[in-house]
């Protein structure tokens, strides 16, 4: 995690933000070290006569969700994140993905709960759900 933070995340951040403030550099220096374990989930679709690429992408998302449920059911804190480095080609390549073909579905952070998570703003169900 430390190596990826220094050699990929910080390096790519500095390449894109050469005049970044120290407080932001400090954040990017330890992204993957915020949790004891971080699992990268890659979507790597293959040619298949019956399964389309879209279903393969959805299954990568299902893997992320299942990892969350498994970790939380064991008493760990867990979070699925797709921050900027999930869309970075250098990170994808470093994780063994094929740039232009594979995608990072997300990073699953697993560790000890040290504080309650900040709840994100959620959409109003009446505005996003339609019943037929």
Q: pLDDT per residue over 26-48, tens digit each?
A: 999 999 999 999 999 999 999 99
**Which residues, including other chains, have CB under 8 Å from residue 51's CB and lie 6 or more apart?**
none
Contact 108, 79 (CB under 8 A): yes
Domains located in the chain, CATH noted: 2-112 (3.40.109.10)
What average pLDDT does range 10-20 have in this prediction? Answer: 97
Contact status, residue 14 vs residue 25, Cβ threshold 8 Å = yes
Which of the four pLDDT bands, split at 50, 70 and 90, describes residue 113? confident
Q: Are 41 and 105 in contact (CB under 8 A)?
A: yes
Residue 115 banded pLDDT, cuts 50, 70, 90: confident
Q: What's residue 80's pLDDT?
A: 96
């Amino acid at each position: 995690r430390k190596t990826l933070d220094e050699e990929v995340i910080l390096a790519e951040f500095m390449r894109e933000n050469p005049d970044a403030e120290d407080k932001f550099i400090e954040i990017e220096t330890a992204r993957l070290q915020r949790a004891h374990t971080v699992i990268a989930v890659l979507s790597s679709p293959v040619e298949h006569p019956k399964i389309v690429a879209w279903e393969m992408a959805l299954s990568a998302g299902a893997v992320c969700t299942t990892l969350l449920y498994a970790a939380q059911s064991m008493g760990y804190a867990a979070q699925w994140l797709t921050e900027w480095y999930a869309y970075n080609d250098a990170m994808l390549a470093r994780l063994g993905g094929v740039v232009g073909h594979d995608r990072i579905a997300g990073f699953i952070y697993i560790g000890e709960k040290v504080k309650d998570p900040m709840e994100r703003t959620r959409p109003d169900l009446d505005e996003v759900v339609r019943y037929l």
